[in-house]
Amino acid sequence: MTGTMRAAVLDAPGPAEALQIRELPIPEPRPGWVLIRVEAFGLNRSELHTRLGLAQGVTFPRVLGIEATGVVAAAPGGEFPVDQQVAALMGGMGRTFDGGYAEYTCVPASSVVAFRSDLDWATLGAVPEMLQTAHGSLTVGLDAQPGQSLLIRGGTSSIGMAAAILAKDRALTVLSTTRRPEKAAALEEIGVDHAIFDDGRIEPAVRALLPDGVDLALELVGTPTLPDTLRATRRHGVVCFTGMLSNVWSVRDF
What is the total residue count of the chain?
A: 254
- Give φ, ψ of 202 to 5 degrees: -105, -5
189-224 per-position pLDDT tens digit? 999 999 999 999 999 999 999 999 999 999 999 999
219-231 per-position pLDDT tens digit? 999 999 999 999 9
Q: Provide the pLDDT confidence category of residue 235 given band limits of 50, 70 and 90.
A: very high
Residue 245 or residue 5, greater confidence: 5
- Give φ, ψ of 175 to 5 degrees: -110, 130
- In this prediction, residue 243 carries a pLDDT of 86
- Residue 108, preceding peptide bond in cis (omega within 30° of 0): no
- In this prediction, residue 159 carries a pLDDT of 94
- In this prediction, residue 248 carries a pLDDT of 78
Q: Position 126: which residue type? A: A
Answer yes or no: is pLDDT of 48 > 70: yes
Give CA–CA dist 161/190, Å, rounded: 8
The DSSP output letter for 137 is: I
Answer yes or no: is pLDDT of 246 > 90: no
53-104 per-position pLDDT tens digit? 988 889 999 999 999 999 999 999 999 999 999 999 999 999 999 999 999 9
| 85-94, 167-176, 243-252: segment of lowest average pLDDT | 243-252
Q: Position 63: which residue type? A: V
pTM comes to: 0.87
- In this prediction, residue 252 carries a pLDDT of 82
Cβ atoms 147, 171 nearer than 8 A = yes
Classify 54 as helix, strand or coil.
Answer: coil
Answer yes or no: is pLDDT of 247 > 90: no
- In this prediction, residue 217 carries a pLDDT of 98
3-state secondary structure 102-135: ECEEEEEHHHEEECCCCCCHHHHCCCHHHHHHHH
Element (H, E) at 77: none
- In this prediction, residue 254 carries a pLDDT of 79
Cβ atoms 107, 98 nearer than 8 A = no
Smallest Cα–Cα separation from 230: which of 201, 252, 209, 250? 201
